[in-house]
Chains A and B, each alone.
Chain A
Amino acid sequence: MQGSISNRSLLEPASLRDALRMLRDEGPLVPMAGCTDLYVTLNFGTLSATRFLDLWRLPTLRRIALSDGMLSIGAVATFTEIMQSPLVRRRLPMLVAAAREIGGPQIQNRGTLGGNVANASPAGDTLPVLAAANATVVLASADGERRVAFASFYTGYRTSVMRPDELITALEIPPVPGRQWFRKVGTRAAQAISKVVMAAVGPRGDALPRVALGSVAPTVVRLPLTEAALGGGASIAEAQKILLQEIAPIDDVRSTAEYRRRVAANLLARFWDGNALSRT
């Protein structure tokens, strides 16, 4: 079942420049690509927007490349393309691990990294990875480009600093120093939305460990105090106590706040045990 479509219109730009011009002159427009989130809301009539901008066929937004030591992943690269990219597999294996657990093959073939970021769900599976990797969001408008640190991209529940005339064109990821770790906890491996999702990077030299969690706060969160404690030699029990101060999970249809707190603390221990093992 699909709601009335006769009042909907789709703009199909031939280039990114075209798309940005349409966004400026013919907005407001809802950008769309793989449609794996958008069409759920359209099918259930929970989205009132009627005008859409199709980015799916813009090849410049699909590119996965390395330049000046930065891994750049185009916003419209699909999770399947990310899983298959030798560059991403080498540089950012925790993103490959996250992509593998998003939906099933049908969703991975269509869902995109930029879409996961723009959809801004606190449960988005790639978001803790981008947070732990110190990623940068590349935003473009007809006026030019700007770069926003992923850590300051979200301003609250499902809100971000992105303007209506802007598109996410790419995510840029600097080299990640330590061992990468990813774990999603849901009802099953495929087709489940996370109850808790964590990405982490082990310490390396002077670099502190990094810990990012999804589904435990209104936005994805980094845990700077927990990271500092672990890096400073605190016991895992002490670090877990600090972690519980840094998250604010809620009860919802998928889980309870209490369960999420326990799982988040357990995941921290699991990650940290793995580091101890890999150091010996």
Chain B
Amino acid sequence: MILTLNGKRKRVHAHPMKRLLDVLREDCGLTGTKEGCGEGECGACTVLVDGQPVNSCLVPFAHADGVRLTTIEGLGGRHPLQRAFVESGGAQCGICTPGMILAAAALGPRPSLEKMRVGLAGNLCRCTGYTAIYRSIRRASSGKERPIRKTRRTRKNTQNSR
């Protein structure tokens, strides 16, 4: 199969049922995509398919045919989000970071706090507690760090038990 991976065409031979996650890591040598839970709960393995985030642990290789795939390597290390995550403390242990950054990249420029919370709801982080992550995304879109103010309403919409 000819993959369109990070803007380049690449020929890959793999079983059609192999997880896209494993094809990326083992057959393409792109180990930036991490495995967390292996059941679609944590978002660590997030990659973009035609610009939309998906969990690559739940995608068969067959479904990579004819789509545009973007992994963390595709951002080239110089993407404003990558820089902002480093500078604003959005990354700690780093396992969730590639998935967080890709999910954030899918939100487009200058997402509202509400949009960030909903857009990253499928990405779990056990280190930073999210505030630093939201701050990083905000920094990436504005070029400077701005405090994240929590309002009762947005907290209720995305985090409280329902």
Interface residues of A (CB under 8 A from B): 1-2, 5-6, 8-10, 12, 32, 34-36, 39-40, 42-44, 52, 54, 56-57, 80, 101, 103-107, 109-110, 183-191
Given A43-B39, A106-B40, A110-B54; A54-B62 close (CB under 8 Å):
yes
User: A5 vs B16: C-alpha distance in the bound complex, in angstroms?
Assistant: 9
Q: Enumerate chain A residues within 8 angstroms of B16, measured Cβ to Cβ.
A: 10, 12
Identify whether the interface residues of A are mostly helix, strand, loop, or mixed. Answer: loop
Closest to B42 in A: A191
* B32-83 at interface with A (beta carbon < 8 Å): 35, 38-41, 43, 46, 49, 52-55, 57-60, 62-63
A39 adjacent to B58 (CB under 8 Å): yes
Q: A43-B39, A110-B54 are in contact. List 18 more A-B contacts (CB 8 A).
A: A2-B19, A10-B16, A10-B62, A35-B60, A36-B40, A40-B58, A43-B38, A105-B119, A106-B40, A106-B43, A107-B40, A109-B54, A183-B162, A185-B162, A189-B158, A190-B121, A191-B41, A191-B122
B55 adjacent to A107 (CB under 8 Å): yes
A110 adjacent to B59 (CB under 8 Å): yes
B46 adjacent to A189 (CB under 8 Å): no
Closest to B121 in A: A190
Closest to A101 in B: B162
For B, the interface residue count at a CB cutoff of 8 angstroms equals 39
Scoring A1, A10, A105, A186 by chain B CB atoms within 10 A of each residue's CB, the highest score goes to A105
Given A35-B58, A106-B43, A109-B54; A190-B106 close (CB under 8 Å):
no
Q: Enumerate chain A residues within 8 angstroms of B119, measured Cβ to Cβ.
A: 105
B43 adjacent to A8 (CB under 8 Å): no
Q: Enumerate chain A residues within 8 angstroms of B43, measured Cβ to Cβ.
A: 104, 106
**Does chain A have a CB within 8 A of B9?**
no
Q: Enumerate chain A residues within 8 angstroms of B160, measured Cβ to Cβ.
A: 188-189
What is the distance, in angstroms, from A84's C-beta to the closest C-beta of chain B?
A: 11
B39 adjacent to A106 (CB under 8 Å): no
Q: Mark B147-162, 1 if CB is under 8 A from A, else 0.
A: 0000000000111111
Q: Enumerate chain B residues within 8 angstroms of A104, measured Cβ to Cβ.
A: 43, 120-123
Q: Enumerate chain A residues within 8 angstroms of B55, measured Cβ to Cβ.
A: 36, 106-107, 110
User: A241 vs B22: C-alpha distance in the bound complex, in angstroms?
Assistant: 52
Closest to A33 in B: B63
User: A39 vs B22: C-alpha distance in the bound complex, in angstroms?
Assistant: 13
B122 adjacent to A43 (CB under 8 Å): no
Contact of A186 among B15, B60, B162 (CB under 8 A): B162
* B115-140 at interface with A (beta carbon < 8 Å): 118-124
B60 adjacent to A39 (CB under 8 Å): yes
B122 adjacent to A107 (CB under 8 Å): yes
A39 adjacent to B158 (CB under 8 Å): no
What is the distance, in angstroms, from A264's C-beta to the closest C-beta of chain B?
A: 14
Contact of B19 among A43, A185, A188 (CB under 8 A): A43
